């Protein structure tokens, strides 16, 4: 279990994290969400003891985090980096050894994980020979090879093909079943929505919203319409009845403006396109994100110092 | 502590189990063999030309031509006598002749003779001609005055100095000053090159881990100081292994191979001098390794790292620039100062030990000062390392980096 209480950190003139509190419980996948530069990486680095917070405290299973707790943490940073000149197996053993594990102890688990991710035949190859996706999976194995209790995953799916993504997803869900705490940091909301039990959305170092996904969605009510259609749907993005729209060639997600009835929208749509599906639902995490913060793709640029 | 050893082991493996390292370790002894034996060989053997040089000669006096030809033939310079100056010149231009020497009619009174070549002159040929020509003409002039050239030569010969070293047991050995100079230069060059080579490798490897973000994963497992110590000592072990092999090889050549095959081993190549070389190299390595590691952590890219390293390199370059002064005057106050100033001490004290006999206490003081400085530098470097390793996206200057010491 990881608990942050009123943690703040600033660099020069930038307040990277401001009075942040949250708890990630045992056996849950906790989403630490926010746009680029929101303070996610700084928060994770503080929990890992890479940075010291300016104020506030970080608890690890109820006690203050000390150096040897690092052995019980696994960390997959956003930017991957393994020793290129080492063989895959040696690189994995080395990283596990730095987590206080003996080589003999770790080898069976490494073999198991390599097998799960279809990489066993690459065990004796050099890291530099791996493709980008493969080295990403190896990096993931290095994160959990020492069987940590708490696992930090910073954008774990970026750059993976759908098959690898699913393999990784299964492993993450298996970790949750084993009772591990997984803290997932991402700005891709669809993934967070599929995986996370609870989330914390931050922006500019401050909490924007937090809680379980159901609680959060309930706050926003069922005011989102998912529609599938045939025909030219270009006009949908400029509908006056919509607060915000995610529009694709044959599919759209529309947040209704207050006071607008869903039937009114349906009749407008029926006049211009042929409706295949029309569903009133709670908003997706993506549209909540956009409503609270703006388009995640427009943000960023600010380095994650 | 266990983790530091793990990093040391991996760093050592990554450095030593690598083709370039093994190749350099194997080639090193040949290089050392060459520098230990070559000076002696070069000093004893005249530089003999490998081929014959065909040189044109234009002269009126046939007997003079015959004398000149005979004397120069010993040095493989063959004179081709010709009567037509213009055709001789064209032979030089076409490359048939290496050069053309023109002796004027009244050569006894002339002060300057002309030698034609196509492009510049071969130094060996011009010097040989100049020497033989001068000798013959001076002898002729002396003979015309009724003087005996042989007698004049022995009367005007200057005595020269032979240097001998004596040790505590009273053993005497001849020592050539030029030889000592060459050996001091080689030793200092070896330390200079290897310290820079290893230093660069540490700096670059820290920088690479920083830019590839490997360091973030490491930091989630160990402290920054553990990473720095692990790197320095890991590479340090490789450096000790490599230079250890070289020095034992050199001692083997000097003590066993040399005497058995009757090779002329310079007197300055003693076991104790090799041990001084070894110890000063190791000290210089650790002194500079910590600085390289800290600057590698502070740098943004390789170009930036090289910029930051300049002020540090100056300390290594100063002794190189001063080397001839240090060799000719090893007991001057400036030499003593630089041999005790920790950053130049490993190089300058080594020179002093080789060419003079500094008091043992001074050598001890030098070791003490360097070791104390290494302690301080490692401490300061780990502060810079800790901050620098996480600073990305900006090129800090030297002053800003030093200000991290107080953060």
Q: What pLDDT, on the 0 to 100 scale, is given for residue B365?
A: 94
Do A169 and A148 reside in the same domain of the chain? yes
Taking the CA of residue A73 and the nearest CA in chain B, the distance in Å comes to 8
- Same domain for A153 and A65, yes or no, is yes
Q: Do A105 and A242 sit in the same domain of this protein?
A: no
In this prediction, residues B116-124 reach a mean pLDDT of 81
A23 located within any domain: yes
**A115 and A257 together in one domain:** no
Low-confidence ranges of chain A (pLDDT < 70): 295-305
B39 band by pLDDT with thresholds 50, 70 and 90: low
**Helix locations, A155-260, DSSP H:** 162-177, 189-195, 213-220
Q: Is residue A291 part of a domain?
A: no
Inter-chain contacts counted by CB atoms under 8 A, chains A and B? 60
Q: What was the pLDDT predicted at A138?
A: 92
Cα A93 to Cα A27, A70, A87, A104, distances in angstroms: 26, 17, 10, 9
- List chain B residues with CB under 8 Å of A70: 220-222
Q: Judge if A197 and A78 occupy the same domain.
A: yes
Q: Among A23-32, A171-180, B32-41, B297-306, whose mean pLDDT is lowest? A: B32-41
Q: Which of B80, B75, B58 is nearest to B124 (CA)?
A: B75
Question: Which residue among B216, B217, B219 sits closest to A95, beta carbon to beta carbon?
Answer: B217
Residue A66 sits in the same domain as residue A110: yes
| pLDDT tens-digit map of B348-402 | 999 888 888 888 899 999 999 999 999 999 888 888 888 888 777 778 888 888 8
Residue-level pLDDT at B33: 62
Q: For residue range B144-164, list pLDDT tens digits in order.
A: 888 888 888 888 888 877 777
Coil, helix or strand at residue A192 = helix
- Residue A294 tokens, joined: 């703006």
Task: Give the CATH number, domain containing residue A242.
Answer: 3.30.70
> How does residue B50 score in pLDDT terms, banded at 50, 70 and 90?
low
Give per-residue pLDDT as tens, B212-244.
Answer: 878 888 888 888 888 999 999 999 999 889 888
Instruction: Please check whether residue A300 lies inside any domain of the structure.
Output: no
Q: Quick one: A91 and A196 in the same domain?
A: yes
Tell me the sheet residues that pair with B399. none
Question: Are the Cβ atoms of A75 and B6 closer than 8 angstroms?
Answer: no
Measured N-to-C along each axis, helices B123-144 and B62-73 cross at an angle, to the nearest 10 degrees, of: 130
- Is residue B64 predicted with pLDDT exceeding 80? yes
Domain boundaries, chain B: 53-156, 175-406
Which residues of chain B lie closer than 8 angstroms to A80, CB-CB?
213
Nearest to A81 among B3, B6, B214 (CB): B214
Name the one residue in this structure whose structure tokens are 């400036």.
Answer: B334
Q: Do B217 and A50 touch (CB under 8 A)?
A: no
The position carrying tokens 């891709």 is: A188
In a domain, A120, yes or no: yes
Q: Which of A54, A84, A97, A144 to mutate to test the interface with B (most CBs of B within 10 A)?
A: A97
Range B47-51 average pLDDT: 64
Which residues are within 8 A (CB) of A162 and not within 5 positions of it... i.e. 6 or more apart? Answer: none
Give the structural domain span for A35: 2-212
Q: What is the pLDDT of residue B49?
A: 63
Share the mean pLDDT of chain B.
84
- Is B217's CB within 8 Å of A305's CB? no
Name beta bridge partners: B121: none
What was the pLDDT predicted at B232?
Answer: 92
Same domain, A49 and A185: yes
Contact B221 A83 (CB under 8 A): no
Residue of A nearest to B4 (CA): A98
Q: What is the pLDDT of residue A12?
A: 76
- If asked whether residues A172 and A242 sit together in one domain, one would say no
A25 and A89 housed in the same domain: yes
Lowest mean pLDDT of A220-234, B86-100, B253-267, B337-351, name the range.
B253-267
Q: Which pLDDT score, from 0 to 100, does residue A175 have?
A: 92
The answer to whether A271 faces chain B, any CB pair under 8 Å, is: no
Q: Is residue A57 part of a domain?
A: yes
What is the count of structural domains for chain A? 2
pLDDT of residue A144: 93
CB A274, CB A229: distance < 8 Å? yes
Same domain membership, residue A275 and residue A147: no
Name which of A79, A98, A100 is nearest B213 (Cβ-Cβ): A79
Is the pLDDT assigned to residue B102 strictly greater than 80? Answer: yes
Q: Which of A212, A242, A271 is the last residue of a domain?
A: A212
Whether B36 shows a pLDDT value over 60: the answer reads no
Indicate whether B34 pLDDT > 80: no
Q: Between chains, do B214 and A100 touch, taking CB under 8 Å as contact?
A: no
CA separation for the pair B206, B292 (Å, rounded): 9
Candidates A11, A68, A81, A142: best to mutate against B (most CBs of B within 10 A) is A81
Predicted local distance difference test score (pLDDT) of residue B175: 66
Q: Scanning every residue of chain A, which has its alpha carbon at the shortest distance from the alpha carbon of B224?
A: A50
Question: What pLDDT score was predicted for residue A298?
Answer: 47
Residue found by looking up tokens 């290496």 in the block: B98
Q: Compare CB distances from A77 to B209, B213, B393 and report the shortest one's residue.
A: B213
Residue A153 lies in a domain: yes
Rounded Cα gap, residues B80 and B51, in angstroms: 16
ipTM: 0.77
Residue B363 has what pLDDT? 92
Mark out chain B residues that contact chain A at CB-CB < 8 A.
2-3, 6-7, 10, 14, 18, 209, 212-223, 390, 392-393
Domain B53-156, what architecture?
3-Layer(aba) Sandwich (3.40)
Q: Tell me which chain A residue has its CA closest to the CA of residue B226.
A: A98
A133 and A248, same domain (yes or no): no
């Amino acid at each position: 279990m990881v608990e942050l209480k009123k943690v703040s950190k600033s660099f020069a003139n930038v307040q990277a994290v401001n009075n942040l509190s949250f708890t990630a419980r045992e056996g849950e996948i906790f989403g630490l969400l926010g746009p680029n530069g929101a303070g996610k990486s700084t928060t994770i680095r503080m929990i890992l003891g890479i940075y010291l917070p300016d104020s506030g405290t970080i608890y690890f299973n109820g006690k203050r985090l000390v150096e040897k707790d690092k052995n019980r943490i696994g960390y997959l940073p956003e930017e991957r980096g393994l020793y290129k000149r080492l063989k895959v197996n040696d690189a994995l053993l080395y990283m596990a050894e730095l987590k206080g594990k003996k080589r003999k102890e770790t080898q069976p688990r490494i073999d198991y994980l390599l097998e799960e991710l279809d990489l066993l035949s690459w065990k004796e190859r050099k890291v530099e020979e791996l493709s980008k996706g493969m080295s990403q999976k190896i990096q993931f194995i290095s994160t959990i090879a020492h069987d940590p209790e708490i696992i930090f995953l910073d954008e774990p799916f970026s750059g993976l093909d759908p098959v690898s993504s699913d393999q990784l997803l299964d492993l993450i869900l298996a970790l949750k079943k084993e009772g591990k705490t997984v803290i997932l940091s991402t700005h891709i909301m669809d993934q967070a929505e599929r995986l996370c039990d609870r989330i914390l959305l931050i922006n500019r170092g401050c909490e924007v919203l937090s809680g379980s996904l159901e609680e959060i969605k309930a706050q926003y009510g069922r005011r989102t319409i998912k529609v599938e259609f045939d025909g030219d749907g270009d006009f949908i993005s400029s509908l006056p009845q919509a607060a915000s729209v995610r529009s694709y060639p044959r599919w759209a997600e529309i947040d209704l403006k207050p006071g607008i009835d869903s039937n009114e929208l349906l009749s407008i749509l029926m006049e211009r396109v042929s409706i295949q599906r029309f569903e009133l639902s709670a908003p997706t995490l993506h549209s909540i994100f956009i409503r609270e913060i703006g388009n995640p793709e427009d943000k960023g640029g600010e380095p994650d110092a | 502590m266990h983790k530091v050893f793990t990093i040391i082991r991996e760093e050592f493996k990554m450095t030593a189990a690598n083709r370039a390292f093994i190749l350099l370790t194997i080639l090193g002894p040949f290089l050392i063999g060459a520098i230990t034996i070559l000076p002696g060989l070069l000093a004893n053997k005249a530089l003999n030309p490998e081929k014959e040089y065909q040189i044109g000669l234009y002269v009126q006096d046939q007997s003079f031509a015959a004398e000149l030809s005979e004397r120069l033939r010993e040095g493989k310079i063959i004179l081709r006598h010709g009567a037509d100056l213009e055709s001789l010149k064209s032979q030089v231009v076409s490359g048939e002749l290496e050069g053309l020497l023109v002796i004027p009619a009244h050569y006894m009174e002339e002060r300057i003779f002309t030698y034609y070549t196509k492009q510049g002159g071969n130094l060996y040929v011009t010097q040989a001609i100049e020497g033989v020509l001068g000798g013959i003409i001076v002898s002729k002039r002396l003979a015309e005055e009724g003087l005996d050239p042989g007698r004049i030569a022995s009367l005007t010969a200057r005595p020269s100095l032979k240097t001998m070293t004596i040790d505590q047991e009273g053993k005497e050995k001849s020592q050539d000053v030029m030889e000592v100079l060459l050996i001091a230069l080689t030793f200092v060059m070896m330390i200079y090159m290897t310290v820079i080579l290893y230093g660069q490798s540490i700096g670059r490897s820290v920088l690479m881990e920083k830019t590839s973000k490997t360091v973030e994963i490491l930091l989630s497992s160990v402290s920054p100081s553990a990473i720095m110590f692990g790197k320095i000592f890991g590479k340090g072990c490789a450096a000790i292994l490599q230079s250890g092999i070289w020095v034992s090889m050199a001692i083997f050549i000097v003590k066993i191979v040399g005497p058995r095959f009757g090779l002329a081993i310079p007197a300055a190549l003693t076991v104790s001098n090799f041990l001084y070389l070894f110890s000063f190299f190791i000290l210089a390595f650790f002194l500079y390794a910590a600085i390289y590691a800290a600057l590698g952590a502070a740098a943004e890219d390789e170009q930036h790292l090289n910029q930051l390293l300049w002020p540090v390199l100056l300390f290594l370059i100063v002794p190189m620039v001063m080397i001839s002064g240090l060799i000719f005057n090893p007991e001057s106050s400036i030499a003593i100062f630089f041999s005790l100033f920790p950053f130049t001490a490993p190089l300058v004290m080594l020179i002093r030990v080789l060419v003079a006999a500094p008091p043992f206490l001074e050598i001890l003081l030098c070791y003490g000062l360097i070791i104390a400085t290494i302690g301080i530098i490692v401490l300061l470097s780990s502060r810079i390392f800790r901050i620098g390793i996480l600073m990305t996206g900006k090129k800090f200057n030297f002053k800003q980096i030093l200000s991290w010491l107080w953060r």
